[in-house]
Amino acid sequence: MPTFLGHFNICTMDSKEDEAITPELLSFFYSRFFPYKTYVNWLNYGTESNAAFKNRELSFMLPSEAYLRYHSYNGVEDLKAEIMKMCPTKIDIGAIYTAKPRDRKYLRLSAFKPAEKELTFDIDMTDYDDIRTCCSGASICHKCWKFMTVAIKIIDVALREDFGFKHLLWVYSGRRGVHCWVCDESARKLSNETRSAIVSYLSVGGAQVSKKVQLNRALHPFLRRSLEIIENYFEDIVLKDQDVLGSEENWTKVLNCIPDNEIIKKLSNKWNASNSKSSVEKWGELVYELEYAANASGRKYSKKAEQLQNCKLEIMLQYTYPRIDEEVSKHINHLLKSPFCIHPKTGRACVPIQPDDCENFDPFKVPTVSSLYQELNQHTEGERKVHGYEKTSLRPYIKYFENFVNGILNEVKDKKHERTFHTTSPVLKRRPQEIKKKNIAKKLSKLEAEKASMPDPVVGVPTEFTTSLLRPLEVYKTAADLNASRYMNYFLDRKDEELLFEKTPKKIAEEVEKSLKVESEKVDDKVNNSTALVEEKKKAEMLKSLVSLHNSNAKSIMMYNVKKTIEEFGRNENDTGSAEVQAAILTVRILNLHEHLKNHHKDKHNYRGLRTLVHKRQKLLKYLKRESLERYFTTIKKLGLDERVIEGEIVI
C-alpha cells in the first residue's frame, strides 16, 4: 500500500515541519532520485561537448551551512560524484559565464563575465503577508496557496502571449513559493536592462499595500486579461478564504484604498455597528457605494468619478496580483534554487508544476525525501529490483521534466538542421543575385513612375485656376455668344453690363417719348413698343460687340487674365507685388506664350522669352519657399506645379 503509506507520511511531515533531514536521507535521494542526465541536458541546451554546461555556475549549501560558489563541471559523471560527496542541503543555479567558473581565479577579470542565463521569476508567499489572514511568515495552507495558483496563471500567459516565450519551467520552491525558468534562447540572451523592463511590465503597484495600485482611464490589454483571470478567483480566495472584510483591522486596509472619505466613514460605521454580514456581502455593499458615488450627478465624467470606477479593480489587483521578487529577475548573475533539490526544512522535493494544471497542484502532496525512502523500501521488498524513481510518486514530476527538456533539445536540433540546409542548397545559393536583379528592376520602375508623375516644367498640370484662364483662340471660337459676360473687355462686370445695355437704352427711349409729349401714365407702354427703344437697343448691341473680348486683341485677353489672377492670389485688390501674385502673373504669361508658340513654331525670339519667364518664376517661388512654406505650397498647388519642378534643373 505505497500510496496510503506515502499519504500518511506526508501528513506527519506537515504537522512537524522542521523534521531534521539527515545526511543519510539526502545522500539516498541524490544517489537514487536526482535526474542528473536530464538535468545536464537541460543546462547544456544541446551545445557540443557540453560547452554551455561547462561554463555554468553551480553553488552549494553544505550541511555545515558553508556556502560554496562558482563550481562548474564537465558532465554527468563529475557532477554526480561531487554532489554525492558534498551532499548539499541546497543547490543554486547561476549564469553561463564566458569561461569555466571554477577557473575564474586564473583568468583576467574581463575574460570572466556572465553571458547567458534563463529569465527567472521568484514568487514568495511572505510577500503576501499584509493581505493573507490565514498564515504568516514561512507557513502556508491550502487557502493561501491559491494566491500562487493565480500568480502562475497570470505570469505564464503574459510570458507566452506578450513575449512569445515557449519553454517555461515552473517549479515549487519546496516550502512557500514558486520559481519560473524561462528557457527560450531569446530569454537566455537577454541583457540586464531588458530583464528589468520585462519585470516592470509585469509589475503592478508593489508588494506592499502602501504602494498602491493605480489605474489609468484606458486599461492596458495585459491588465485587462489579468483582471479576467483574477475575477474567477477573487471572491473565492480574497472574500471567502481570506475573509478580508471579516474584522475591523482587515477591512480598514481595504477601505483605505478608496479615494473618498465619505464612503470609508459610511461603510466602517455600518460594519462596526453590526458585523453579521459575510465578506462577500460587504464587498457587494462596497462596490454599490463606489458605483453610486461615481454616477452621482455632477461627477459623472470627472477625474473623481474615474478614480471611483477604477477603485474596485485596483483593490482586486492589490489583493490578488502576483508579487514578484524583482531582484531575482533583473540580474543575469542572480542565483536561484535548482529544481529537484530537497528543501532542508520541509524535506519536500522542488518539483515542476504544470502551469495548465496548477489548480490541482497540492504542495502538501509533494513527495518528501523520507516518503520516497519508504516508497522505495516497500517496492524492494515486494519486487526484488526497482529502478530508482520509476515506481515512486516522484515519477510523474521527472517524466514532465524530461519532456520539457526534450522539447528544448528538439528545437535546437531543428534549428541546426535548418542552418545546414540553407548553406548547402545550390538553389538557395543563387538567390542573392536574383534578389539583386529584382531590386534593380524595382528601383527602375519606381524612377519611371516618378518621371511620369512629374508635371511639365512649363505648363504644369491643369488646375482649377489655370483652366479658368481665357485663351484667345477659345474666346474667338465662341464669338457668336455675345451674352457670355465672362468675355467682357475693359474690366466691365455684370453691373456695368446692366447699366450699359438695359438701363441706358430704356432711359434714352423714355426721354425720347417724353419729348414727344405723350401722356405720362402711358409712357411705359409706349416706351416698350417705341421705335426709339428699338433704335437704342441697336446702338447697345453695337456697343456690346465693341466691348466684348471676342473682338479684342490677345493683349486684352491677357489683361483680363491678369486681373483675375490678382483677385485670386492677391491679399487685397491692390496687391500686385507679393511673390504669389508675381508668380501667378508669370504663370499667366507663360501659358499665354506657350499657347502662342504651339501655333508659331519658328518664333525663336519668343522661345527665349518663355525660358526667361520660367526661370524667373522658379526663382520667385524659391524665394517664397524661404519666406513661408505654407504660402509656397498653396501657391504651387494652385499653379499646378511640383516641388521637383522648382527645385530641380529645368530643361526646356
Q: Identify the residue among 134, 219, 305, 313 touching Zn ion (CB under 5 A).
A: 134
Nearest approach in angstroms of CB 428 to Zn ion is: 60
57 is catalytic: yes
CA distances to 126, 244, 248, 319, 388 from 144, in Å: 11, 12, 20, 12, 34
Q: Identify the residue among 76, 107, 141, 492 touching Zn ion (CB under 5 A).
A: 141
Piece of the chain touching Zn ion by CB under 5 A; list 137-145, 191-199, 371-379, 461-469: 137-145
CB closer to Zn ion, 138 vs 229: 138
Nearest approach in angstroms of CB 28 to Zn ion is: 31
Residues 122, 184, 326, 510: which is the catalytic one? 122
Only one residue has cell 553551480, namely: 58
CB closer to Zn ion, 321 vs 397: 321
Q: Which three cell numbers stand for residue 556?
A: 486684352
Instruction: Please provide residue 67's backbone torsions phi and psi, each rounded to the nearest 5 degrees.
Output: -120, 120
Contact 353, 186 (CB under 8 A): no
CB closer to Zn ion, 135 vs 138: 135
Residue 456 DSSP code = P
Piece of the chain touching Zn ion by CB under 5 A; list 141-149, 231-239, 313-321, 570-578: 141-149
Secondary structure class of 386 (helix, strand, coil) = coil
CB closer to Zn ion, 131 vs 324: 131
CB closer to Zn ion, 364 vs 476: 364
Nearest approach in angstroms of CB 261 to Zn ion is: 33
412 is a contact residue toward Zn ion (CB under 5 A): no
Return the amino acid letter for 596: H
Q: Which of positions 608-627 make contact with Zn ion (CB under 5 A)?
A: none
Please count the residues of this chain forming the interface with Zn ion, following the rule CB under 5 A. Answer: 5
DSSP of 155-220:
HHHHHHHTT----EEEEE-SSSEEEEEE--HHHHT--HHHHHHHHHHH--S-SSTTS-----SSPP
Q: Which residues on adjacent β-strands are paired with residue 241?
A: none
124 is catalytic: yes
Piece of the chain touching Zn ion by CB under 5 A; list 131-139, 201-209, 607-615, 628-636: 131-139
Q: Tell me how far apart the alpha carbons of residues 624 and 537 are, in angstroms, rounded to a whole number.
A: 51
Q: Tell me how far apart the alpha carbons of residues 560 and 491 are, in angstroms, rounded to a whole number.
A: 7
Residues 116, 124, 243, 513: which is the catalytic one? 124
What are the percentages of helix, strand and coil residues in the chain, rounded to 5?
65, 10, 30
244 is a contact residue toward Zn ion (CB under 5 A): no
Nearest approach in angstroms of CB 136 to Zn ion is: 8
Q: Which three cell numbers stand for residue 400?
A: 514532465
DSSP of 31-59:
HHT--HHHHHHHHHTT-GGGHHHHTEEEE
Q: Tell me how far apart the alpha carbons of residues 69 and 582 are, in angstroms, rounded to a whole number.
A: 84
Q: Tell me how far apart the alpha carbons of residues 208 and 201 are, in angstroms, rounded to a whole number.
A: 18
CA distances to 96, 295, 475, 559, 567 from 552, in Å: 94, 77, 10, 11, 22
Nearest approach in angstroms of CB 363 to Zn ion is: 11
CB closer to Zn ion, 143 vs 594: 143
Piece of the chain touching Zn ion by CB under 5 A; list 138-146, 237-245, 259-267, 482-490: 138-146
Nearest approach in angstroms of CB 321 to Zn ion is: 18
Secondary structure class of 25 (helix, strand, coil) = helix
CB closer to Zn ion, 143 vs 212: 143
Neighbours of 8 (CB within 10 A): 13
Q: Identify the residue among 21, 144, 180, 263 touching Zn ion (CB under 5 A).
A: 144
Neighbours of 98 (CB within 10 A): 14
Secondary structure class of 488 (helix, strand, coil) = strand
CB closer to Zn ion, 137 vs 426: 137
Contact 239, 280 (CB under 8 A): yes
CB closer to Zn ion, 16 vs 451: 16
Q: Tell me how far apart the alpha carbons of residues 367 and 9 are, in angstroms, rounded to a whole number.
A: 9
Nearest approach in angstroms of CB 3 to Zn ion is: 26
E strands, 390-432, are none
Q: Tell me how far apart the alpha carbons of residues 379 and 382 are, in angstroms, rounded to a whole number.
A: 5
Q: Tell me how far apart the alpha carbons of residues 532 and 543 are, in angstroms, rounded to a whole number.
A: 17
CA distances to 473, 587, 592, 611 from 600, in Å: 13, 20, 12, 16
> Is the alpha carbon torsion for 515, 516, 518, 523 positive or negative?
negative
Nearest approach in angstroms of CB 237 to Zn ion is: 11
Nearest approach in angstroms of CB 125 to Zn ion is: 8
Q: Tell me how far apart the alpha carbons of residues 8 and 587 are, in angstroms, rounded to a whole number.
A: 102
Piece of the chain touching Zn ion by CB under 5 A; list 129-137, 267-275, 500-508, 566-574: 129-137
Nearest approach in angstroms of CB 133 to Zn ion is: 8
Query: 268 Cβ partners below 8 Å, 6+ apart?
Result: 248, 251, 252, 255
CB closer to Zn ion, 143 vs 399: 143
Only one residue has cell 433704335, namely: 535
Residue 239 DSSP code = I
Piece of the chain touching Zn ion by CB under 5 A; list 133-141, 311-319, 474-482, 627-635: 133-141
Contact 596, 602 (CB under 8 A): no
231 is catalytic: no
Piece of the chain touching Zn ion by CB under 5 A; list 126-134, 218-226, 307-315, 345-353: 126-134
Nearest approach in angstroms of CB 11 to Zn ion is: 17
Q: Which of positions 423-442 make contact with Zn ion (CB under 5 A)?
A: none
Piece of the chain touching Zn ion by CB under 5 A; list 35-43, 111-119, 140-148, 421-429: 140-148
Only one residue has cell 419729348, namely: 515
Q: Which of positions 506-525 make contact with Zn ion (CB under 5 A)?
A: none
CB closer to Zn ion, 134 vs 209: 134
Q: Which of positions 195-234 make contact with Zn ion (CB under 5 A)?
A: none
Piece of the chain touching Zn ion by CB under 5 A; list 142-150, 264-272, 308-316, 635-643: 142-150
135 is a contact residue toward Zn ion (CB under 5 A): yes
Contact 382, 1 (CB under 8 A): no
CB closer to Zn ion, 63 vs 246: 246
Nearest approach in angstroms of CB 346 to Zn ion is: 15
Only one residue has cell 524661404, namely: 626
Looking at the annotation, which residues are catalytic?
57, 122, 124
Interface ranges with Zn ion (CB under 5 A): 134-135, 141, 143-144
